[in-house]
């Protein structure tokens, strides 16, 4: 990143339209307040677990229907234990709003099912399409609409969460169309897949931009000065190193498995028999082998991915600003590894019971790695007239795995 494109330089060298900073006295060089601060997270793992386990128990009693209220309670805890510039966030969402969102999404799916039934009845029911059954048609159509709807759901879910978030009593929000975002995301991801993922920087920057520039804290918007061209060099390095790493990992795995089986004098038939009638010993050995393979994968492939992801996150954060407030992070490859890989392992090895731990680690990471330069002028940020959607996250619940 050149100094000329640095948001710090932009902030110091010019006063953007609508800036809330105090104007400099005539004849003196203007210098904005860029005092650094960091968010603070003061939640404890024990308290978070107490809320989570209650949620889990209620989920068992209600067969999962309490999840809307459980999520809300967890968000209330996490949000209010995070503060920026000494002021805590507030989460004012309600479980019933999530329930309504889910029920509406159910209605959408029911209407879609009805439509697909009619299509099947009038188009596919008769030959020559008779081999295409109703379930096939429905499954295919859900895959087709589910992919773009997951993106729409992501955006709409973010809008809902922000509309229920307050800072200094001011509602946050999200402008822009979730459908437009869904269409853009679907097109970009499709184009990326078609070009062997060589468009990843374009996709990353163009999907981050609408989410950043449409975010609002009251009437205060954000700006994003990122360009895909800035990060292509690093991505291409990652891309080709990744191919090399996969080849090396593949050869190493092949040699390790083949060598081990041969060394033990195990034939492929014996191996299959072991798999079909596993003793406890076999299960333990298989788990250890799977874990070893994952470690190999984790050691060779994932650090590379984390190297790229950490770079991308640093780039996105440092190129975002809210008027005279700048953001920065120095998140390292190792910290990204902890975030992506270790958190994944925690969830996997604890069969899901490690979720609060992962959440706690993530909040600590945000608090430890995000730097905020400057402070907004509070009087310039006003309460928005828009109260946000009346319900939320139905599509996210239906078409995607929606975490807290």
Q: Which residues contact another protein (rule: CB under 8 A)?
A: 42-44, 46-47, 49-57, 59-61, 63-64, 67, 70, 73, 76-77, 80-81, 86-88, 90, 92, 130-135, 166-170, 217-218, 220, 272-273, 275-278, 344, 347-348, 351-352, 355, 376, 378-383, 401-404
Minimum CB distance to another protein smaller for 47 or for 111: 47
When the beta carbons of 69 and 232 are compared against another protein, the nearer one is 69
Inter-axis angle of helices 45-62 and 355-369, nearest 10: 140
> Cβ distance 141 to 112 under 8 Å?
yes
Query: What minimum distance in Å lies between the beta carbon of 329 and another protein?
Result: 23
Return the closest-CA partner of residue 156 out of 211, 92, 76, 74. Answer: 211
Distance, CA of 305 to CA of 234 (rounded, Å): 11
CB closer to another protein, 168 vs 227: 168
State the nearest-atom distance from the C-beta of 44 to another protein, in Å: 8
Least Cβ distance, residue 398 to another protein (angstroms): 12
Alpha carbon distance 354, 128 (integer Å) = 52
Q: Minimum CB separation from another protein for residue 127, in Å?
A: 9
Q: How far is the CB of 344 from another protein (least distance, A)?
A: 7
Q: Which is nearer to another protein, 264 or 401 (CB)?
A: 401
DSSP class of 337: H
Three-state DSSP class for 159? Answer: helix
Tell me how far, at minimum, the Cβ of 198 lies from another protein, in Å: 26
Closest distance between another protein and the C-beta of residue 138, in Å?
10
Torsion over CA: 228, 232, 233, 239 (sign)? positive
Of 42 and 386, the one with the shorter C-beta distance to another protein is: 42
3-state SS, residue 332: coil
Instruction: State which residue, 167 or 235, has the beta carbon closest to another protein.
Output: 167
DSSP result, 203-265: HHHHHHHHHHHTEEETTEE-EE---HHHHHHHHHHHHHHHHHHHHHHHHHHHHHHHHHHHHTT
Q: Which is nearer to another protein, 260 or 383 (CB)?
A: 383
Contact 93, 389 (CB under 8 A): no
């Amino acid at each position: 990143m050149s100094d000329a494109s640095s948001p710090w330089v932009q902030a110091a060298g010019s006063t953007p339209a609508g800036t809330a900073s105090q104007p400099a006295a005539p004849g003196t060089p203007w210098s904005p307040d860029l005092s650094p601060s960091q968010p603070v997270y003061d939640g404890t793992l024990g308290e978070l677990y107490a809320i989570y386990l209650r949620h889990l128990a209620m989920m068992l009693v209600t067969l999962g229907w309490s999840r809307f209220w459980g999520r809300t309670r967890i968000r209330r805890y996490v949000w209010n234990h995070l503060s920026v510039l000494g002021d805590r966030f507030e989460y004012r969402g309600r479980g019933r709003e999530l329930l309504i969102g889910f029920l509406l999404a159910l209605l959408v799916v029911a209407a879609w099912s009805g439509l697909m039934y009619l299509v099947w009845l009038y188009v596919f029911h008769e030959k020559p399409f008779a081999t295409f059954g109703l379930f096939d048609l429905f499954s295919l159509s859900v895959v087709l609409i589910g992919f773009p709807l997951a993106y729409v759901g992501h955006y709409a879910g973010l809008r809902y969460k922000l509309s229920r978030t307050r800072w200094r009593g001011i509602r946050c929000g999200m402008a822009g169309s979730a459908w437009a975002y869904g269409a853009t995301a679907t097109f970009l991801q499709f184009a990326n897949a078609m070009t062997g993922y060589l468009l990843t920087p374009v996709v990353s920057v163009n999907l981050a931009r609408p989410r950043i520039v449409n975010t609002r804290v009251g009437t205060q918007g954000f700006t994003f000065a990122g360009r895909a061209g800035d990060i292509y060099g690093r991505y291409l390095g990652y891309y080709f190193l990744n191919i090399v790493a996969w080849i090396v990992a593949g050869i190493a795995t092949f040699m390790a498995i083949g060598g081990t089986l041969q060394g033990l004098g195990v034939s492929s038939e014996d191996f299959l028999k072991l798999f079909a009638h596993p003793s406890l010993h076999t299960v333990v050995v298989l788990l250890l082998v799977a874990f070893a393979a994952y470690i190999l994968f984790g050691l060779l492939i994932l650090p590379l991915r984390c190297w790229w992801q950490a770079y991308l996150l640093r780039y996105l954060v440092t190129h975002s600003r809210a008027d005279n407030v700048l953001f920065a992070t120095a998140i390292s490859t190792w910290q990204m590894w902890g975030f992506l890989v270790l958190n994944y392992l925690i969830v996997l090895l604890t069969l899901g019971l490690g979720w609060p731990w992962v959440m706690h680690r993530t909040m600590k990471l945000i608090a430890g790695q995000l730097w905020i330069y400057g402070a907004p002028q509070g009087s310039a940020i006003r309460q928005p007239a828009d109260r946000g959607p009346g319900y939320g996250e139905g599509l996210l619940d239906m078409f995607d795995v929606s975490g807290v």
